[in-house]
Amino acid sequence: MIDIQRIRNNKDEVIELLSRKNVPSEIIEKAFALDEDWRSKTTEVEQLKARKNALSKEIGKLKRENKDASEVLAEIEKISHSIEEIEVLAQEKEAELKNLLLIIPNTPNIDVPVGKDETYNREEKKWGEIPSFDFEPKSHDELGEQLGIFDFQRAAKISGARFVVCKKMGAALERALINFMIDVHTKENGYIEVLPPYLVKAAALYGTGNLPKFEADLFKVDGGEFYLIPTAEVPVTNLHRDEILSEEDLPISYCAFTPCFRSEAGSYGKDTKGMIRQHQFHKVELVKFAHPDNSYNELEKLTRDAERILEYLNLPYRRVTLSTGDMSFSSAKTYDLEVWLPSQSLYREISSCSNFEDFQARRAQIRFKPKVGGKTRFVHTLNGSGLAVGRTVVAILENYQRKDGSVVIPEVLRKYLNGAEIIEPN
RNA sequence: GGAGAGAUGGCCGAGUGGUCGAAGGCGCCUGACUCGAAAUCAGGUUUGCGGGUAACCGCAACGGGGGUUCGAAUCCCUCUCUCUCCGCCA
């Protein structure tokens, strides 16, 4: 949530920054006006309440002295009526303002390239050598079906479109990747492993910014108050909701493996074949609670931690900074990591690493108390995929394929697969 | 699913209608003592919002929401969570 004080004190700056995210200025002007209105009514109510409190105390005193209080009671009754009237108005304004603030996106960092869509994303680096094949490289779904490790047809029978059944080395490879990623992040990068719930309440989704605006992207459990998580970001960021952390504990870094569930509403016709876009997929997620003075440094580190997984797997990738028009609602700055897919001859997103600054922390009330200076401050939250497991399988199959349709297993994964070196058709 | 108990400040824990934003303890901060530290002694130490250059003033908050009352941590309703017992269950 954007800080209303920023709108109050630097309205024009906020309008300018949010125009980069295609937010019309009228929305900010509306929030500004609601805030002014709310404040004047609140001030009025509070003055009346102060008078009422004073009179109430007087009654206590009069009663103790066994004196008559009817005159004071009469005045209180009059004040109470006024309070009721104005308070309703103040509460209406407050609710309206709050609802409006909940749908205003985060302001982009000044460094983020300005543009209306992904064509304005800025490439930051490229890593690895794009493999050259002396044959036509196959797509992962073709390879997977030939190898007998993916079964899209039966998945459709069971659950419909956008699901897959992984079998044999397909299933084992997912499991190996999950363990490999978690091992690297916990042992080499200092993340604390957590295994959170996959069903969450609405409040958790408000905290991260998925609600109220993006309900259509989520699966809601019928009849219950639960939602299936779209990413581990939701439960893990909410670990510290309504908490005051110790400054010396920052940054706190978590790593979580979870399935992710997405309705993919509005993506009809996109990536219909294969494992790229599924209703259910696995992800190892990195989440940090950082000191606000150091969060951009932590974003660089977190992104490097994700990149290192790709490097261990020797998968060619590039890093791009998402433009203001392509980044998400809650983010102030996002790096996407895109892995090379030979069958499509392009880079596809495999990780998204963001600094949300205090946007989520303000929604979820995650704060810390500075050692000196007293006043509690909001932490900065960050997260990134480290990595999306299904898409990593896709990238491995496509980049490590051989002419005969077999696939070489990346060296770092072999110890997780009983030493297997190659996936072969059987 | 049934029966009961509970939720108070960073932590522990008192408080059953007004003088309670809240005793006491722990922790933390400042000062004294000390070469220094520990111990001891004295003082201080909640948060959010609004107003004010500031000192400061006001409003709100004792799990969440609602109610009774001139006045609620305290009484009533409701929700959430925790614990105990019974049932069921991987």
Residue A351 — very low, low, confident or very high, per pLDDT cuts 50/70/90?
very high
Q: Which of A54, A71, A101 is the last residue of a domain?
A: A101
Active-site residue, A295 included: no
**Residue numbers of the domain that contains A34:** 4-101
- pLDDT confidence of residue A84: 87
Among the residues of A20-69, which ranges form H helices? 25-64
- pLDDT confidence of residue A312: 97
Active-site residue, A391 included: yes
- pLDDT confidence of residue A373: 59
- pLDDT confidence of residue A256: 95
Q: Which of A101, A130, A160 is the last residue of a domain?
A: A101
Active-site residue, A349 included: yes
pLDDT digits (tens, 9 = 90+) for A299-330: 999 999 999 999 999 999 999 999 999 999 99
Assess whether A217 and A70 both reside in one domain. no
pLDDT digits (tens, 9 = 90+) for A369-392: 777 656 778 889 999 999 999 999
For strand B, the positions having any atom within 7 A of a protein Cβ are 10, 18-19, 47-51, 58-60, 70-71
A394 CA – B65 C1', rounded, Å: 49
> What domain count does chain A have?
2
Q: Is the pLDDT of residue A172 over 70?
A: yes
Catalytic residue among A328, A349, A377, A406: A349
Assess whether A58 and A163 both reside in one domain. no
Assess whether A408 and A361 both reside in one domain. yes
Residue range A207-226: mean pLDDT, rounded: 84
**Does A138 reside within a domain?**
yes
Complex-level ipTM: 0.83
**Does A109 reside within a domain?**
no
Catalytic residue among A8, A39, A51, A277: A277
Q: Is the pLDDT of residue A365 over 90?
A: no
Residue range A45-70: mean pLDDT, rounded: 85
- pLDDT confidence of residue A179: 97
Catalytic residue among A20, A162, A262, A348: A262
A98 CA – B73 C1', rounded, Å: 29
Distance, in Å, from the CA atom of A48 to the CA atom of A85, rounded to the nearest integer, reads 11
Distance, in Å, from the CA atom of A143 to the CA atom of A155, rounded to the nearest integer, reads 17
Is the model more confident about A406 or about A246? A406
Q: Is the pLDDT of residue A224 over 70?
A: no
Please report, rounded to a whole number, the percentage of residues in chain A having pLDDT higher than 70: 99
A392 CA – B56 C1', rounded, Å: 61
CATH for A287? 3.30.930.10
Distance, in Å, from the CA atom of A424 to the CA atom of A10, rounded to the nearest integer, reads 62
Average model confidence (pLDDT) for chain A?
A: 91
Catalytic residue among A295, A330, A352, A385: A352
Tell me how far apart the terminal alpha carbons of chain A are, to the nearest angstrom.
54
Amino acid at A302: L
Q: Which of A101, A132, A161 is the last residue of a domain?
A: A101
A370 CA – B25 C1', rounded, Å: 25
Kindly list the distances between the CA atom of residue A392 and the CA atoms of A144, A167, A370, in Å, as whole numbers in the listed order.
13, 16, 40
**Does A107 reside within a domain?**
no
DSSP state of A327: S
pLDDT digits (tens, 9 = 90+) for A245-261: 878 788 899 999 999 99
Assess whether A146 and A92 both reside in one domain. no
Burial of residue A107 (CB within 10 Å: 0-12, 13-18, 19+) is buried
Assess whether A20 and A137 both reside in one domain. no
Q: Which of residues 62-91 of A touch strand B (CB under 7 A)?
A: 63, 73, 76-77, 80
Active-site residue, A51 included: no
Distance, in Å, from the CA atom of A276 to the CA atom of A293, rounded to the nearest integer, reads 37
A250 CA – B41 C1', rounded, Å: 36
Active-site residue, A262 included: yes
Q: Is the pLDDT of residue A221 over 90?
A: no
CATH for A19? 1.10.287.40
pLDDT digits (tens, 9 = 90+) for A119-147: 999 999 999 999 999 999 999 999 999 99
